[in-house]
Amino acid sequence: MSGWLVYDTVKTVRIEDRKLSALYYALVLGALAYTASTIVYHKGYLEYEPHIVGGLSLHLTRQHHGSEAGHPPDLIDTRLLPYCRQSSDSAHDAKPCLIWDDDDILVQRGTHAALITTRVQRYLEKRVCGPTEVSCGAIWEEVSHDDYFIADTENFELGVYHSMQAPHFFEESGHSHAFAEGNLHMKGVLMKGQGDAKAVLKKFPEGECDHFKLTELLAAADVTLNDLSDAPGQERKPLRASGLILHADLAYNNIRCDGKLKCAFGQGDISYRYRIYRVPESNSEMVEVKKLNDTHRVRSVKQGIQVNFAQTGKIGRFSAQVLIVNLCSGLGMMAIATVVVDAIAIYVLPKKTTYFSHKYKVVDKIRLSDKAAKAAKATKAAMTASGGDDAASSPSPSTSSPSASESSGKEKTSTGETTKRKSKKKPSDHAAVESQPAGEEQEGEEGEGKGQLRQRKAKPAHHGE
């Protein structure tokens, strides 16, 4: 069990190289800066609603001119408009102007788009081929054609009522109004430009429907109706005559901070902003047909400002999972920095061989097996030598002849008996006690045998004398 309850750690090699350490710490600081920017500046601890839904309604109203130029309120004078032929100071491309009300000018095109008419062409047509004819060429024949501009369109005011919902957050929060609201309970702005050049053109307070003049709408897109069109086939025509398409990005946000801490965690009030973009190389027109009788009809071709609204935004809330993912991403970048610096150290630098040898320990399998065999052989030899020493020091149980040869024989016999004793089971303590006198007798006999051997060696020396 102890073999499983262990902790293995990594060996660290310290390389004293200023350039290498500078590179490593630069990469680590870069990873830390990126992680801090992601988490703090880009709010990498929030999760966002993947899809915002909403609805809106549009209406157009006429504005009051007041007493400007001595005219009474609500007066539209075509003689003061340079694009109207009725004006004494009309432009070369001026056309007769018609005075329309808001119901004539505004044409709804779906739930999120509308056409605000600036020009209308009317064609009176006569039917030249009956519906029961066997074959027909042209069915309708043009009788007359009239071309008009709509007077004072720029000063009409577009009203927008809109509402939104973050469906996933709304359901998970138990239908909280923090994730669903209408513009009567929100604050908004009309923006122009991006980045440092952005500016607020108009603010929309709570409790009111959003209203802005068409001149403000065009200014937000940085365009006027007198600009020339770039649409194919409409070159050198003013946008008032060719029409144009504007994209209105209506974005909601609950994380835009205004000094309150709660908005940094997606708990602030929902606000919104409009950004208006002109779609390049585009024109807008629609056709309406009014049947007068079975043989005559009026076909009206309307051009103007088509506004397409898109409801988007960033509705967020705090998520520990997103925060952990971003933290782990930062740690992963620091690990990559280590891998890069290690690769440079052991494969690129002049001392790469030295660094490699210190970082990695190479083990030869053949040498390792030879060393293991030698170690086993030495251990076996040591055990054999230890066994011989034990046999030489063991006492002999025999007490016979005192002669030197007999003594030698007794020693061999004693060694053999000692070896046999080792191969057998260990004797009891009582047997060990009884063997002690026999050992003492053996030591006495060995002493007598050694004395007789010294006497025999001394006799030849005595005869010589």
Task: Tell me 350's DSSP state.
Answer: T
pLDDT of residue 395: 52
pLDDT of residue 86: 86
What domains does the chain contain, in order, with CATH numbers?
18-38+321-359 (no CATH), 46-318 (2.60.490), 394-464 (no CATH)
**Per-residue pLDDT for 412 more than 70?**
no
Instruction: Report, as an integer, the average pLDDT of 203-229.
Output: 92
- CA 122 – CA 133 distance, rounded (Å): 27
**Per-residue pLDDT for 197 more than 80?**
no
**Per-residue pLDDT for 119 more than 80?**
yes
Give, to the nearest 10 degrees, the angle between helix 320-347 and helix 352-359: 120
Amino acid at 232: P
pLDDT per position as a tens digit, 93-113: 899 999 998 889 999 988 899
- Model-level pTM? 0.68
Task: Assign 327 a pLDDT band (cuts: 50, 70, 90).
Answer: very high
- CA 28 – CA 48 distance, rounded (Å): 29
- CA 423 – CA 119 distance, rounded (Å): 123
- CA 157 – CA 64 distance, rounded (Å): 10
Identify whether the C-beta of residue 118 lies closer than 8 Å to the C-beta of residue 107.
Answer: no
Give, to the nearest 10 degrees, the angle between helix 365-392 and helix 404-423: 130
pLDDT of residue 143: 94
Task: Assign 74 a pLDDT band (cuts: 50, 70, 90).
Answer: low
pLDDT of residue 443: 43
pLDDT of residue 160: 94
Q: What are the φ and ψ backbone dihedral angles of 124, each rounded to 5 degrees?
A: -85, 120
Instruction: Report, as an integer, the average pLDDT of 148-160.
Output: 91
3-class state of residue 161 by DSSP: strand
Higher pLDDT, 242 or 379: 242
3-class state of residue 205 by DSSP: coil
3-class state of residue 54 by DSSP: strand
166 C-beta neighbours (distance < 10 Å), count = 29
Instruction: Report, as an integer, the average pLDDT of 135-142.
Output: 91
Q: How far is CA 358 from CA 63, 361, 435, in A?
A: 84, 7, 63
pLDDT of residue 398: 43
pLDDT per position as a tens digit, 39-71: 988 889 999 999 999 999 999 988 655 444 444
Q: What is the DSSP annotation of 357-397?
A: HHH-----HHHHHHHHHHHHHHHHHHHHHHHHHHHHTSPP-
Task: Assign 366 a pLDDT band (cuts: 50, 70, 90).
Answer: low
Q: How far is CA 174 from CA 166, 171, 177, 178, 220, in A?
A: 12, 5, 9, 10, 38
Higher pLDDT, 433 or 186: 186
Task: Assign 208 a pLDDT band (cuts: 50, 70, 90).
Answer: confident
3-class state of residue 424 by DSSP: coil
195 C-beta neighbours (distance < 10 Å), count = 5
Task: Assign 5 a pLDDT band (cuts: 50, 70, 90).
Answer: confident
Identify whether the C-beta of residue 151 lies closer than 8 Å to the C-beta of residue 97.
Answer: yes
**Per-residue pLDDT for 419 more than 50?**
no
**Per-residue pLDDT for 388 more than 90?**
no
Close Cβ partners of 67 (under 8 Å, ≥ 6 residues apart): 73
Token code pair at residue 155: 């000063």
Higher pLDDT, 439 or 118: 118
- CA 313 – CA 306 distance, rounded (Å): 22
Instruction: Report, as an integer, the average pLDDT of 16-24.
Output: 91
Q: What is the DSSP annotation of 65-78?
A: -TTGGGPPTT---G
pLDDT of residue 389: 54
Identify whether the C-beta of residue 125 lies closer than 8 Å to the C-beta of residue 142.
Answer: yes
Among all chains, which residue has been given the structure tokens 């001595």? 70
118 C-beta neighbours (distance < 10 Å), count = 27
230 CB-contact burial (10 Å; exposed 0-12 / middle 13-18 / buried 19+): middle
H-run or E-run covering 232: none
pLDDT of residue 370: 64
Q: What are the φ and ψ backbone dihedral angles of 172, each rounded to 5 degrees?
A: -70, -25
Instruction: Report, as an integer, the average pLDDT of 387-409.
Output: 47
What's the whole-number average pLDDT of the chain? 80
Task: Assign 430 a pLDDT band (cuts: 50, 70, 90).
Answer: very low
Least Cα distance to 310 among 112, 52, 107 occurs for 112
**What does DSSP say about strands 140-150 and 97-98: parallel, antiparallel, or unpaired?**
parallel
pLDDT per position as a tens digit, 225-250: 999 999 998 888 999 999 999 999 99
Token code pair at residue 73: 């309120």
**Per-residue pLDDT for 452 more than 80?**
no
pLDDT of residue 436: 43
Q: How far apart are the first and last CA of the chain?
A: 82
**Per-residue pLDDT for 274 more than 50?**
yes
Higher pLDDT, 13 or 5: 13
